[in-house]
Structure 1
Amino acid sequence: MLRFMPVGDSMTIGSAGEHTWRYRMWQHLRDTYGDPFALVGPRETLYDKAADAPTSYAYADPDFPRAHLAGWGEGWLHMAPLIGEAVRGSRADVLLVSLGLIDLGFYTNAEQTAENVRAFVAEARRANPRIRMAVLPVIPNVRAESDAPFATEITRFNELLAKAIADLDEPRSPLLPASPPSSYDINHDTYDGTHPNASGEHKIAAAFAAAMHQAWDLGGLYEAG
Structure 2
Amino acid sequence: MLRFMPVGDSMTIGGAGEHTWRYRMWQHLCATYSGPCTLVGPREALYDKTADAPTSYAYAEPDFPRTHLAGWGEGWLHMAPLIADAVRQSRADVLLVALGLIDLGFYTDAEQTADNARAFVTRARTANPRIHMVLLPVIPNIRAQTDTLFAAQVALFNDLLEKTVADLDEPRSPLLLAPPPAYDLHRDTYDGTHPNTHGEHRIAEAFAEAMHQEWGLGEPYRAY
Q: TM-score range by the shorter chain?
A: over 0.9
Which whole-Å CA distance do the structure 2 matches of 1:63 and 1:89 have between them?
23
Which whole-Å CA distance do the structure 2 matches of 1:88 and 1:140 have between them?
32
Which whole-Å CA distance do the structure 2 matches of 1:173 and 1:12 have between them?
23
Query: Secondary structure of the equivalent of 2:84?
Result: helix
Q: Does 1:87 align with 2:93?
A: no
Q: Show structure 2 runs of 5+ residues with no match.
A: none
Which whole-Å CA distance do the structure 2 matches of 1:145 and 1:126 have between them?
39
The answer to whether the 8 A contact 1:140-1:185 is kept is: no
Q: How many residues align?
A: 224
Which whole-Å CA distance do the structure 2 matches of 1:12 and 1:49 have between them?
15
Which amino acid in structure 2 is aligned with residue 195 of structure 1? H
The answer for the alignment partner of 1:208 in structure 2 is 207
The answer to whether the 8 A contact 2:101-2:140 is kept is: no
Which amino acid in structure 2 is aligned with residue 38 of structure 1? T
Which amino acid in structure 1 is aligned with residue 215 of structure 2? W
The answer to whether the 8 A contact 2:140-2:154 is kept is: no
Which amino acid in structure 1 is aligned with residue 62 of structure 2? P
- Distance apart, 1:101 and its partner CA: 0.3
Q: Show structure 1 runs of 5+ residues with no match.
A: none
Which whole-Å CA distance do the structure 1 matches of 2:154 and 2:186 have between them?
19
Identity of aligned residues (%): 75
Q: Does 1:137 align with 2:154?
A: no
Which amino acid in structure 1 is aligned with residue 66 of structure 2? R
Which whole-Å CA distance do the structure 1 matches of 2:215 and 2:58 have between them?
34
The answer for the alignment partner of 1:70 in structure 2 is 70
The answer to whether the 8 A contact 2:97-2:136 is kept is: yes
The answer for the alignment partner of 2:149 in structure 1 is 149
TM-score, normalised relative to structure 1: 0.99
Which amino acid in structure 2 is aligned with residue 205 of structure 1? A
The answer for the alignment partner of 2:105 in structure 1 is 105
TM-score, normalised relative to structure 2: 0.99
**1:135-184, CA deviations, whole angstroms, 9 ceiling, x for partnerless residues?**
000013111111100000000000000000000000000000001113x1
**1:29-66, CA deviations, whole angstroms, 9 ceiling, x for partnerless residues?**
00000000010000000000000000000000000000
Which whole-Å CA distance do the structure 2 matches of 1:34 and 1:202 have between them?
21
* Cα RMSD for the two superposed structures: 0.5
Q: Does 1:191 align with 2:190?
A: yes
**1:115-151, CA deviations, whole angstroms, 9 ceiling, x for partnerless residues?**
0000000000000000000000001311111110000
Which whole-Å CA distance do the structure 1 matches of 2:202 and 2:106 have between them?
26
Which amino acid in structure 2 is aligned with residue 19 of structure 1? H
The answer for the alignment partner of 1:2 in structure 2 is 2
Runs of 4+ in 1 over 3 A off after TM superposition: none
Which amino acid in structure 2 is aligned with residue 94 of structure 1? V
Which whole-Å CA distance do the structure 2 matches of 1:117 and 1:93 have between them?
18
The answer for the alignment partner of 1:173 in structure 2 is 173
